[in-house]
Amino acid sequence: MARSLDDIPPERRPRHIAVIMDGNGRWAQRQNLPRIEGHRRGVASVRRTVEECARLGLEQLTLYCLSSENWKRPQLEIDFLMHLLEQYMIEERSTIMRQNIQVATIGRREGISDGALREMDTTIAMSAGNTGTRLCLAINYGGRGEIVDAVRKICGEFHNGNLPADSISEQTVAAHLFTAGMPDPDMLIRTAGEMRISNFLLWQISYAEIWVTDRCWPEFDEDDLHAAIRDFAGRDRKFGGLSDGGFG
């Protein structure tokens, strides 16, 4: 598959891609490897995808790293995921700075290891002034929990007299989500063939184009990313209105 997307005009490309990185464990099982090896190989796919999105000038890439439901997994696996997160934040700093990537996170901080939090905060602060692609990592994230937290904040402002009830709008809700100030995703990619949203960005993906591949996340590479973008460019996005035409 050709790696170039030069024939696709910038206005036909997604500004913001969100990814449900699924299938690390299944990939490992197929290779007769332990599940944690799938997570380790998945980091290589993260690296490839982030670097290619930065090269393409994508405004934002949001990766579903750890859901609020993933705490049900064996403690050994959770500990390894925390180790990988901490290690990634340290090892990728030079690449993040060289490629002008700004790092952000969404989700609740409770439960994340002290070491991972420390390195996350360091990398976020270090890259805050970068102006290229924003890499947003969803860690201990759940879409329903995010909306609950937003409602609690809005209720607090209402009870304090700072927010009249009749002024609450969709913009008000959006401004109280973890993703406040970020564009909504134009495209949602899911690997490993699953046809589920899995409690990811429930508010934000209202009009996102969904693209699913049977390939597990450790197999996902630049050509898969290009295929998704090319498919996106050919879709007719109506947003409830009339056709805007497609590409190709």
167-212 tens-digit pLDDT: 999 999 999 999 999 999 999 999 999 999 999 999 999 999 999 9
Each residue's pLDDT tens digit, 101-128: 999 999 999 999 999 999 999 999 999 9
- How high is the pLDDT of residue 2? 43
φ, ψ for residue 120 (rounded to 5)? -60, -50
Domain 14-142+184-230: CATH superfamily is Decaprenyl diphosphate synthase-like (3.40.1180.10)
User: Could you confirm whether 70 is annotated as catalytic?
Assistant: yes
Catalytic one of 22, 24, 140, 224: 22
Residue 127 identity = S
DSSP H helical ranges for the chain: 24-30, 35-56, 75-91, 93-98, 114-127, 143-159, 170-175, 222-233
**Domain residue extents for the chain:** 14-142+184-230
pLDDT at residue 20 in the model: 98
Model confidence at 150, pLDDT cuts 50, 70, 90, reads very high
C-beta separation of 92 from 137 below 8 A: no
Sequence-separated (6 or more) residues with CB below 8 Å from residue 17:
53, 58, 60, 61, 62, 185, 186, 187, 188, 189, 228, 229
Residue 210 tokens, joined? 């969904």
Q: Beta strand pairing status for 187-190 and 134-141?
A: unpaired
Q: Which of 70, 130, 149, 184 is labelled catalytic? A: 70
Average pLDDT, the chain: 94
pLDDT at 5 over 70: yes
Distance CA 112, CA 18 (A): 22
Residue 22 is among the residues annotated as catalytic for this protein: yes
